[in-house]
Chain A
Amino acid sequence: DTAVSQTPKYLVTQMGNDKSIKCEQNLGHDTMYWYKQDSKKFLKIMFSYNNKELIINETVPNRFSPKSPDKAHLNLHINSLELGDSAVYFCASSQVPPSKLGEQFFGPGTRLTVL
């Protein structure tokens, strides 16, 4: 009965490859997020979708493209992977945005290593 799940948990790949990370939530939430946590443990928001519509798009390279086929899924596709993309990527969801006291639930994370 995992609330927010991500696959894969670990991803090791070569520079220049294209890869995808999948996220699913079974909480019935309307809003989903992607965060990047680098080696310094700093969490940074990348994207946020509300009911399949993009509402936050931080300054990330356009090699990163989120896709939300339905409101329970938010996948992250990364083209032409670079060394600096190595990090842990967290998916999260909430019923309402955090500014409105929405409780955010995080997935277990996907550790991406680019060689």
Chain B
Amino acid sequence: KNQVEQSPQSLIILEGKNCTLQCNYTVSPFSNLRWYKQDTGRGPVSLTIMTFSENTKSNGRYTATLDADTKQSSLHITASQLSDSASYICVVNRITNAGKSTFGDGTTLTVKP
């Protein structure tokens, strides 16, 4: 069964600290993995898209890693800011012609001053 599991479910950190969110998947055949940020009351916004051959991709203070062998990804946030408080969703896509994505249920990050 194609699944995406994220951990932790929620996380609280102090402003300025770093954190790492995890995503494990069993989706196959693999096409790409995405990380989205969803602010409260808003739609998800794409942070990174990674294909099979990419190990690391950065977007500002966000760095995603991918290990396609172990089917694991992480999202590292450096020097967190209050505005980083949001849900972070991992999404994995298969090599199909349709647009079916498999979504994780997200990690809720709270950054406190």
A residues in contact (CB < 8 Å) with B: 4, 31, 33, 40-45, 48, 50, 55-56, 58, 90, 92, 94, 97-109
Residue in A33, A44, A108 whose CB lies within 8 Å of B99? A33
Q: How far is the CB of B88 from chain A (nearest CB, A)?
A: 11
- Nearest CB of chain B from residue A66's CB, rounded to whole Å: 13
Q: Is the beta-carbon distance between A109 and B41 smaller than 8 angstroms? A: yes
B101, A42: Cβ atoms under 8 Å? no
Are the CB atoms of B43 and A4 closer together than 8 Å? yes
Supply 14 further A-B pairs (C-beta < 8 A) apart from A40-B105, A48-B98. A41-B87, A48-B99, A55-B98, A90-B43, A94-B99, A97-B96, A99-B93, A99-B99, A101-B31, A104-B101, A106-B45, A109-B41, A109-B42, A109-B43
- Counting CB contacts under 8 A, is B94 at the interface? yes
Could you say which residues of chain B place their CB within 8 Å of the CB of A4?
Answer: 43
- Distance between Cα atoms of A103 and B48 in the complex (Å): 10
Contact A56 to B49, CB < 8 A, known contacts A4-B43, A109-B43: no
Q: Which of A33, A45, A58 has the most CB of B within 10 A?
A: A45
Most chain B Cβ neighbours within 10 Å, of A41, A55, A102: A41
B99 touching A42, Cβ below 8 Å: no
Query: Across the interface, do A99 and B31 meet the contact criterion of CB distance under 8 Å?
Result: yes
CB <8 Å contact, B99 and A45: yes
Of B41, B43, B46, B108, the most chain A CB neighbours within 10 A belong to B43
